[in-house]
Amino acid sequence: MTAGQPQASMRSVERAFDVIEVLERSDKPLRLSDVARRAGLSPATTLRLLGVLQRRGYVVAEQQAYHLGPATLGAAHGFLVTDGLSRAATPVLQELAATTGLTATLHIRSGLERIVIARVDGADPLRYQLPIGHRLPLHLGAGKVLAAAMPEEELAALIAAVRDLGTAGGRPVSETELRAELALISERGYHYSINERVLGSSGISTPVPRPEGGAIASVSVSGPAERHPESEMLGWVPELRRAAAALGRRRDL
């Protein structure tokens, strides 16, 4: 094996994951040219990677278009049953949803985004579905308690990557305003949002603490804004903090 072969192998692995992420982020099958363009690869390289992934069950080709295959479900299941935080989530979120009547959700950070890893609907559920595995922004809603714990270098990368920091409700947000809000969230340990990511929705979130400091996840409750005013949502902060502390303790069990 030559000195350059390990490096080339690593590039191939990274490109394969680039292709998987492109397909993961799409809500419909993609043609080869679309996968290549979004992954920033040549069509020839993309076709070769898709062939490997297809043989391993991570990609399916139908009618000259590609989408993720059943092997990705096996990988997701493996995460959910082996990750301590995921295993601990359901009973804690069930109790939180029963106490508040709101939808309780747990997110973890993945790069410059967050991913839903558990959700339990309350008596007054949201009008929209938020499936497990769905990617969401860090600069809006419950993602802000995770962004508030990011090191400066990573926060700068997040801000640079987001084209529009404004909310779903149309409120413009500057970098200075976002940084000031994140500093306040870090200081008080929770975030209240309304019409930030979804119109008509309000929520309150708090970080799940790491033993060594920082946040390993975000736990939140949310519901229709017209029926759950800010005063009510802020009243659930102690319950959220208890849930976050319980998740932090149980993640290693």
pLDDT digits (tens, 9 = 90+) for 103-156: 999 999 999 999 999 999 998 877 777 889 999 999 999 999 999 999 999 999
CA dihedral for 100, 101, 103, 104, sign (positive or negative): positive
pLDDT digits (tens, 9 = 90+) for 65-83: 999 999 999 999 999 999 9
Please, which residues have CB within 8 angstroms of residue 70's CB and are 6 or more apart in sequence?
Answer: 57, 60
Residue 165 is predicted with a pLDDT of 96
Segments making up each domain of the chain, as ranges: 4-73, 83-250
Residue 130 is predicted with a pLDDT of 80
Indicate whether 253 pLDDT > 50: no
Indicate whether 22 pLDDT > 90: yes
CATH topology of domain 83-250: Beta-Lactamase (3.30.450)
CATH of 4-73, one of 1.10.101.10, 2.60.120.380, 1.20.1250.20, 1.10.10.10: 1.10.10.10
Secondary structure class of 156 (helix, strand, coil): helix
Nearest-angstrom CA–CA distance, 118 and 87: 9
User: Mean per-residue pLDDT for 4-27?
Assistant: 88
* Region for 174 from its dihedrals, namely left if φ exceeds 0, alpha if ψ lies in -120 to 50, beta otherwise: beta
